[in-house]
Structure 1
Amino acid sequence: MLTTGPRGTKDILPDTSGHWQYVEKTIREVCRNFAYHEIRTPIFEHTELFLRGIGETTDIVEKEMYTFTDRGKRNITLRPENTASVVRSYLENKLYAGPQPTKLFYIGPMFRYDRPQAGRYRQFHQFGIEAIGAHGPTIDAEIISLAVELLNKLGLNELKLLINSVGCPECRPVYRTKLQEFFRDKVSHLCSDCQSRYDRNPMRILDCKNETCAEHSQGAPHMVDCLCSDCSNHFTGLKDLLTAAGISFVLNPRLVRGLDYYTKTAFEIQYSPLGAQSAVCGGGRYDGLIAECGGQPTPGIGFAIGIERVLLALEKQELLPFINNAIDVFVAPLGAETQAASFELLTELRHAGIAADMDFMNRSLKAQMKYANKYPAKFVALIGQDELAQNKVMLKNMETGSQNLIDRAELVHMIIEEMEK
């Protein structure tokens, strides 16, 4: 049906868009305080970017991407996440030539063909952070601190931070071998996806949501027990920094995240009042991604927060602010001959920075007053034939009910004075 949007999409209507603006405004304030700057990348990219950047063994690439061939026979994908796009832009636009690290944030829609559920859609919106160019754990602690600061500022305080280290190309092969040894006798009991992952990327088995796979992965070896000295020192440093910042955390050795590009730090922030689907933020370090996308070896770390998930949490906890859609003045013309003068007044009010509207439906005076109350409007400026002839306006205060005949030339100044009281 043409009157129904595609499954997994949702219109953001005027009565809720103010809540989105509130969250986005808070995001921009926090990012400014942390010296992160906005980047806006295209909604679609060459498919190869995500194949190389995200990893061919991930659920995103194998099952969830919206991919098509355009009229130029190019293979194009709607972005399922934005880190790969930011890295591509970082390289293409030579952002590495500026002061390092490069600290960026983005807000925008992503696309994944997934099963829609509460707070999760096929077109969804993410706020994300990317910090590129810094090696040490201090930048890891900073972006985790930024995420916690943002969620706390929005009023979400019952947060649980989970952290893990997923190692690096030096120590991960050791872990890979141990995982394959652990799962060797269990492969036949795993889902078809995990049977495929056993040879390609056994760490991904730990991230499987299948209950049988989760059951058979109990007791699997931990990556933290296989870390090389560099990864171990990095992880210890992160824990010390978070402790120094007063940020509590829980070690979760099964946390591997859903993207192949992660190295060393992986983390997730959960908001327990959301129940089983409690994750609101996830991220990690990706020291090999820039080189994988064609650049020089460069470290990076980032996270993404689902805005729909945050709004759902704020709604459930009754933390969304009241959005005031009131206007200052409603101009009420009476009769066709007063339309031009009314529109002239409307234009003057708006030029003066006064929120104003007028009747465009040729309603009766009673209907116009009722409509003005629905906004609500603080004042109604009525122009009838008598007012037009005298070059005056009848101004009614909708709160007190008082009304006065005002000289047309003095009206804007008078309204500004009333609003400043």
Structure 2
Amino acid sequence: MSSSFPTPKGVSEYVPPRADLFYAIRAAFAEQARLAGYGYLELAVFEDTNLFRRGVGESTDVVSKEMYTFEDRGGRSLTLRPEFTAGVLRSVLANGLHKQGALPVKVWTTGPAFRAERPQQGRYRQFYQLDLEAIGSDDPRVDAETIAIASRWYRSLGLTQIRLMLNSLGCRECRPAYRALLQEFLRGLDLDEPTRERIEINPLRVLDDKRPEVREQVAKAPLMADHLCDACQAHHDRVRELLADLGIEWEDSPTLVRGLDYYTRTTYEFEHPLLGAQSAIGGGGRYDGLSEDIGGPALPGIGFGLGLDRTILALEAEGTGFAAAPRCEVFGVALGEPAERRLFTMIDELRGAGVAADMAYGGKKLKGAMKDADRSGARYALILGERDIAAGSVQLKDLAGGDQTAVPLTELTATLKERLSR
């Protein structure tokens, strides 16, 4: 009988064995971040609503349509985080990390984020991201570093069809003139009233509109790439040179603006063609004015958010063969109560030696316990009876080939580690 409480609609929930893959790819990212000098940051799941209004932008769909906002018992307006960057920057400032050492502050975090969207494959109301941020430097090498970390992680998972889309959104010096030019163009189009209102608030958001009828009309809109100031053009050229030096391929995407207001200069997105309409599996960019927007000092920054849900979908679509470490390598089967007691300590000793081990519970007979061994996915079964205890040995059975041999208890751990390493 199933529970009368189903999984909440729009939640990307993971259970074994798929959850093992979720954990493994997250652990693989943690190692890439560590190798590049990024420290782990554990964030609050909810923030003051104004953090997102001021940081992400009132004109974005995220803020205007998709946030889960509520009042707490003190009447304060709080919001479940719809993205990570604003919260990471808030935490860096609140904890004074930008004052404690050399810049940039390099941190990463992970967890769920929340948006009130129409659920579909790859788009959820509760979804999971890996977030990495470098705060306090405008060096183009930092831009290229963040892209390289994400690219190396995707490659480590075996993904081969990732496409990197790259653009520059200029800065607060050159964007105003482009904004006026874009507004003049957009005002002449046949657009609905909400879109026309968006032209006056943030016209770049219109370029991000996914509706075919809008995309067709804006196809000939002026592009930021053609109106960069000398400093932004030099920055963009340098980022591309650095990516070429690293052997990272990209495609220039002059219409790429992404969905958040804080982006400046370098903006990028990772796409996977096998995911259809939800092909974007991660992306990021520079946000050099965000710190000032939320009341902090001038601190340039760049970072990204990579979707764990869509990365898993991409792995499954490509069939890469990337797999989590086995939850069980050795499964113990005891014949009789004395053997159960001895086997219990043996399993614990194996775990202490780094071997993933489990055993049958509930006093099962040999047949039932061996079925459990097969279901566990273990490579070997340990079969222990009173005669084995008296002989100081245990039966080691290869569950794939069926071979079974007696192994002295004093040699068991070494024997298993040697066989499992093959």
Structures share a fold, TM > 0.5?
A: yes
Cα distance in 1 for residues equivalent to 2:208 and 2:364: 61
Contact 2:327 2:356 survives alignment (8 Å): no
2: CA distance, partners of 1:359 / 1:220:
67
Residues 413/92 of structure 1: CA separation in 2 closer, same or farther (3 Å cut): same
Equivalent residue of 2:373, what SS?
A: helix
- In the TM superposition, what is the alpha-carbon distance from 1:91 to its structure 2 partner? 0.2
CA distance in 2, matches of 1:166, 1:397: 62
Change (3 A) 1:147 1:343: closer
Q: Which residue of 2 aligns with 1:149?
A: 152
Distance 1:159 1:363, change over 3 A: closer
Higher deviation after alignment, 340-349 or 193-202: 340-349
Secondary structure of the corresponding residue to residue 277 of structure 2: coil
| CA–CA separation in structure 1 for the residues paired with 2:331 and 2:274 | 42
2-side partners of 1:151 and 1:41: how far apart? 24
Contact 2:283 2:306 in 1 (8 A): yes
Alpha-carbon distance in 1 for matches of 2:294, 2:156:
35
Task: Kindly indicate whether the alpha-carbon contact (under 8 Å) linking 1:129 and 1:303 is maintained by their aligned counterparts in 2.
Answer: yes
Query: Equivalents in 2 of 1:202, 1:183: separation in Å?
Result: 8
Q: How many Å apart are 1:46 and its aligned residue?
A: 1.3
1:321-362 Cα offsets, whole Å, 9 max, x none, are 244343324041425x76545544444444454433333223
Contact 1:269 1:280 in 2 (8 A): yes
TM-score normalised to structure 1 length: 0.90
SS at match of 2:92: helix
Q: Give how far 1:280 is off.
A: 1.8
TM-score by length of 2: 0.89
Q: Write the distance in 1 (CA, Å) between the matches of 2:385 and 2:344.
A: 10
Q: Secondary structure at the match of 1:76?
A: strand
CA shift for structure 1 position 309: 1.0
Decide which moves more: 338-347 or 254-263: 338-347
1-structure distance, mates of 2:267, 2:348: 54
Superposed CA RMSD: 2.4
Q: Does 1:20 align with 2:22?
A: yes
- Compare 270-279 and 105-114 and name the one that shifted more: 270-279
Distance 2:343 2:270 in 1: 54
- Does the 8 Å CA contact 2:394/2:409 hold for their aligned counterparts? no
Task: Report whether the alignment pairs 1:420 with 2:418.
Answer: yes
Alignment of 1:393-404 (within 5 A): 395-398=395-398, 399-402=401-404, 404=406
Residues 13-412 of structure 1 aligned to structure 2 (within 5 Å): 13-97=15-99, 98-186=101-189, 189-323=190-324, 324-335=326-337, 339-375=340-376, 376=378, 378-384=380-386, 390=390, 395-398=395-398, 399-402=401-404, 404=406, 411=409
Cα gap change, 1:354/1:274 in structure 2, threshold over 3 Å: closer, same or farther? closer
Instruction: Assess if the C-alpha contact under 8 Å between 2:122 and 2:278 holds in 1.
Output: no
The alpha-carbon deviation at position 124 of structure 1 amounts to: 0.9
Task: Answer whether contact 1:346 1:358 (CA < 8 A) is retained.
Answer: yes
SS of residue in 2 equivalent to 1:161? strand
- Conserved 8 A contact 1:329-1:354: no
Say if 2:355 and 2:417, in contact at 8 Å, map to a contact too. no
Uncovered stretches (5+) of structure 2, i.e. residues with no partner: none
- Quick one: structure 1 residues 245 and 365, their matched pair in 2 at CA, closer, same or farther if it must change by over 3 Å? closer
How far apart, in 2, do the equivalents of 1:344 and 1:245 lie? Answer: 51
Q: Deviations over 1:27-52 (max 9, x none)?
A: 12222332222222111111111111
User: Contact (CA 8 Å) 1:156, 1:271: kept in 2 or not?
Assistant: no
Contact 1:269 1:281 in 2 (8 A): yes
- Note closer, same or farther for the CA distance 1:392–1:129 as it changes in structure 2 (3 Å cut): same
The secondary structure found in structure 2 opposite 1:218 is helix
CA 1:332/1:166 → structure 2, altered by over 3 Å: closer, same or farther?
same
Task: For 2:153 and 2:339, locate their aligned partners in 1 and report how far apart those are by CA, in whole Å.
Answer: 51
Query: Aligned partners of 2:236, 2:344: CA distance in 1, in Å?
Result: 65
Percent identical residues:
41
Cα offset, 1:387, TM superposition: 6.4
